[in-house]
Structure 1
Amino acid sequence: MPELRIDPFPSAAEFNALWSAAWDAPTPRDFTSILSRSLTHIGAYHDNQLMGFVNVAWDGGIHAFILDTSVHPDMRRQGIATRLVREATRIARERGAEWLHVDFEPHLTGFYRGCGFVPTEAGLIKLV
């Protein structure tokens, strides 16, 4: 079972390798500025390689937001994403968040409900 690390700040190379595999997104990104403003982020490491990740953004107050829940395709269906989200929930609570939000596609409803999220009304504007 992968080891969970709190706020690991993975290198751009290891983060982009996971991102490319998990999201089929080959365009490299630099996540340094994003992670430095996060309430927390959790990495799942197997044989010292980043195999899973979740980011918790926040408003600087009581609201936090689950983003980028990712698991390498070779490691899926082993409970890693659930462990990541539950650890993110624990850390967010510990660091003062009172509400944890998540947006997701319909096929992930069962997963997020299994992690304790309940349905809410929400709104969205596509800006690009």
Structure 2
Amino acid sequence: MHLHLMQMGYQAAQALDAGDFAVPFVMFGRMRTVTGAHDLPVHVADGADVQHALRKFFNYYPQARAEVFDVEWAGGERVDSHGTPWFTTERRYAVKPMWRVLLNGKDLSFIGGPELALHPGDEVHVFPPGR
């Protein structure tokens, strides 16, 4: 188990440097305490969306994921190649109330959500609830 955890941490660290350009993640308030960092560059490939960058970031800082996100389960039926119906579930993360994830200073919840494409020069800011 310990080896598996170490390997996952190593892979998460390598993933941060894999990509065509870096997107700076800047943390504020409690996020700085939880992560022990002020900012972190996350490299992404051309055409990657914010959700992909968030996944890389929170794989690197898994202890911060529960601070920012609530887990939601989405499910639906699908039919396999033999015509047999299956019910599948998928874990999705939703930003907790009062937390803000901003792309270039604009709240993701108001500009299209985490499916927005990232471009060179973009920045992501994570703000905890506050005054």
- Normalising by structure 2, what TM-score? 0.28
Where is the strand percentage greater, Structure 1 or Structure 2? 2
Tell me which structure has the larger Cα radius of gyration: 2
Which of the pair has the greater relative contact order for Cα pairs under 8 Å at 6+ separation? 2
